[in-house]
Amino acid sequence: MTQPLVVDDDRDFAGAVRMMLQSRGYDVAMMHETDTLLARLDQRLPDALILDVMFPEKPTAGIELAQAIRRRYPRLPVVMLSAINQNMPLGFSPGDLEPALLAVTEFLEKPIDFSLLCDKLDRLLNRPTYANPPAWGG
């Protein structure tokens, strides 16, 4: 079973993402802190990582972790989620960052469209999308 790892300090939000992905057949793991993320990845690499940008201990923790993860695991799909425009109305968009700086596969702004997140993850992991479920023979 495909296992993404959701890393977000907002437990309610992470739980909602987990529920949505589980409804699509994913076996979802969660973390709410960043301090042991790299050690966790060294022990068991998920099939994909869904990572928040801002964490209480450091507002840029997600970006810094994404860079470290990209160096260690260049093939790991990383979907970054950000509420930066919600928290600070800057008009920030994915086009504002250099790909080398952001170091992620996909970027979604919070509040996210859960269907869009699921579709992006399905595509990244080469899974059929919900709109096109596999045909079950019988």
Number of domains into which the chain is organized: 1
Residue 52, in any domain of the structure: yes
Residue 66 CA, distance from chain mean position: 10
Residue 66's CATH number: 3.40.50.2300
Q: What is the mean pLDDT of each run of 10 residues along the chain (138 residues)?
A: 92 95 94 94 96 89 91 93 59 52 80 91 82 42
pTM: 0.82
Residue span of the structural domain in which 92 resides:
4-124
Residue 65, in any domain of the structure: yes
Residue 95's pLDDT is what?
54
37 C-beta neighbours (distance < 10 Å), count: 19
Q: Are 99 and 70 in contact (CB under 8 A)?
A: no
Residue 49, in any domain of the structure: yes
Residue 47, in any domain of the structure: yes
Residue 102's pLDDT is what?
67
